[in-house]
Amino acid sequence: MPAIAQTLGVKGRLVDHVADNRVLLLLDNLEQVIESAPALSGLLADTRNTKLLVTSREPLRIRGEQRYPVEPLPDSDAIRLFLERARAVDPDFEVSAAVAEICRRLDRLPLALELAAARVSLFVTDDLLARLEQALPVLTLGARDAPERQRTLEATIAWSYDLLSEPEQRLFRRLGAFAGSFDRGAIEAVCEAQIDTLQSLVDKSLVRRWGSGRLGMLETVHEFAIDRLAASGEADAVRWNHAQHYLAVAKEAHLSFLTEGEEHYELAVAELDNFRAALDWALAQREFSLGAELAVSLANLWVARDPFEGERRFGALLEAAGDELSPELAAHLLFEYGSLLFLEGEYERGLERQERSLAAYRELGDERGIAEVLARLSVGTVVRGNFDRTRALGHEALEMNRRLGRRRGEAMALYGLAQVEWETGDCDGAVGLMRESGALAAELGFGWWESGAWYALCEWAVDRGDLTDAERHGRAALACARRIGERMHGVYLLALLAYVAAATGRTERAGVLWGAVEAEEARGRVGQWEEERETYAEARAGLLGRRLRARAGRGTRALVRGRVRTRPRLATAQW
């Protein structure tokens, strides 16, 4: 209050000086003296026409206060600011594709953009973007006439951190264990935090509430929290709590054969960044049992979202752990690793690992594991063409899973038996078994398998020239795949439905569907699609239909030119 009086040249009481005059007081960075809020409230109460315009990292919490959150810049404004500041350093600076990504990486924060733009005299934008993988050390060239705290972004964040109370600082740095976004329950479990402390960090804009309702930090702020956590001496304890919490979340999602219940991909997808962070930490700290249990609990998530990432993670854990895993966990890892290899077209490697896991389960006397491997082998061994063995595995898997009450395994065994009947010429029997498998999967909430069953029926209908049935089953399968975020079924189904549309004269629809295929390709690799894309691409011109009709009755292996394989992808789709 004395500073306000001095600035206004008041001689006497501030209230008397202001009186009924119309006054707008602009108070910048008030969080430094937030304890003055009651006095400011008194000033407003004692004068009729005074208004306050305040900037602060936290609200004043006084009567009459209206908050206006200041969000990061819109994309276009962020790029424009970066270009203006860059050209002040280098008049010939030209915009490139990297500029937009630099702005995104810096959360579109004006100070961060100004500091980064100052570096264009030293780095081309691609190199600058690479350097921003660790942003704070790069952002250190502030203007000499700026306040000291604004000469580096780290100093600006540190200044906010230093204003926090000790409980607030402790929670802030512990939040560095998270990745991406998080929910309130996770914060309470991992950080042992009080709600009031969390609310205070939200009010101070160090934690943000996203449109999804989840909480998170700007990337630059999060990087600072990670550094503070590393320096605190409690990083391993906090990250252990973090990994344990997300292991519990993974189990609740029911995405592996180790748990029964309806799958909840939405739970797992929301926490994917946190799962990755926990797995990375477990591997780095040699917490192999924890890492293996988490990876196995997420097996179907890797299948649906990115089997290549799943395969890398399972392979890294198996290689690093050696003999340090329990026999049961090692068998689980080996089994799921084989499934993921199979998805990538590594059939022999995948089947070899599953055979080894079956032997391990038999040695352990683990009937649940035996039943699961038998069911999947009954599907996977179709690619070898040994239909007698495949049929024997299928019947053994069906009997064992029914005896154990494992209905997911029953659905898988039915699927494998359906494949055998199809490949040996009993098309009607195959369709009946596949429908039974799909209906059971739908009843159980086993969305991944349900999608695969309807996909098989769609593909078989195409093979038989029944395009009405093909479209009906394809739509059902695609809806299921989209619901759970399953990319591999999705892209093949879009291609098949594009063929059906082209073959029935709906060329515009075929083009739209193929455009959706290309959009999915742009998101990243999708299973074995790259190997088989050319064949499906013929759907755009309706050529595939003519070739299929000419080869009717020869089985879907005719789709894959130059390769002798049963069903170009369905042998892997169910995984």
| Domains in the chain: boundaries | 2-54, 75-156, 164-233, 244-365, 446-573
pLDDT (tens digit, 9 = 90+) per residue, 416-434? 999 999 999 999 999 999 9
pLDDT (tens digit, 9 = 90+) per residue, 190-213? 998 888 999 888 888 789 888 788
Most confident among 14-23, 62-71, 103-112, 326-335 (mean pLDDT)? 326-335
For the chain, what is the mean pLDDT?
84
Interatomic CA distance for residues 575 and 570, integer angstroms: 9
Mean pLDDT of 110-117: 78
Interatomic CA distance for residues 50 and 68, integer angstroms: 19
Q: How does DSSP assign 248-298, residue by residue? A: HHHHHTT-STTS-S---HHHHHHTHHHHHHHHHHHHHTT-HHHHHHHHHHT
The one-character DSSP state at 66 is -
Q: What is the pLDDT of residue 453?
A: 94
Mean pLDDT of 318-344: 90
Q: Per-residue pLDDT for 114 more than 50? A: yes
Q: What is the pLDDT of residue 255?
A: 92
**Taking the CA atoms of the chain, what radius of gyration do you get in angstroms?**
30
| Res. 134 pLDDT band, cuts 50 70 90 | low
Give residues with Cβ within 8 angstroms of 234, minimum separation 6.
174
Lowest mean pLDDT among 1-10, 168-177, 314-323: 1-10
Give residues with Cβ within 8 angstroms of 224, minimum separation 6.
136, 154, 157, 158, 161
Q: What is the pLDDT of residue 85?
A: 85
pLDDT (tens digit, 9 = 90+) per residue, 359-399? 999 999 999 999 999 988 888 888 778 888 889 999 999 99
The percent of residues in the chain predicted with pLDDT above 90, rounded, is 43
pLDDT higher for 553 or 300?
300
Q: CA 69 → CA 55, 160, 202, distances in Å?
A: 10, 17, 11
CATH class in words for 164-233 = mainly alpha
Q: How is residue 265 written in tokens?
A: 């991909």
Mean pLDDT of 18-44: 88
Mean pLDDT of 343-370: 90
Q: Per-residue pLDDT for 572 more than 60? A: no
The percent of residues in the chain predicted with pLDDT above 70, rounded, is 90
Q: What is the pLDDT of residue 315?
A: 92
Q: What is the pLDDT of residue 555?
A: 36
Mean pLDDT of 316-329: 92
Beta bridge partners of 215: 182, 209
| Res. 507 pLDDT band, cuts 50 70 90 | confident
CATH class in words for 244-365 = mainly alpha
Q: Each residue of 468-492: b (16+ CB within 10 Å) or e?
A: ebbbebbebbbebbeebebbbbbbb
Q: Per-residue pLDDT for 518 more than 80? A: yes
Q: What is the pLDDT of residue 141?
A: 52
CA 82-94-128 angle, 5° bins: 60
Beta bridge partners of 25: 52
- State whether residue 141 is helix, strand or coil: coil
Mean pLDDT of 319-332: 92
| Res. 268 pLDDT band, cuts 50 70 90 | very high
Most confident among 18-22, 364-368, 487-491 (mean pLDDT)? 364-368
Interatomic CA distance for residues 231 and 354, integer angstroms: 44
Mean pLDDT of 80-101: 87
| pTM attached to this predicted model | 0.74
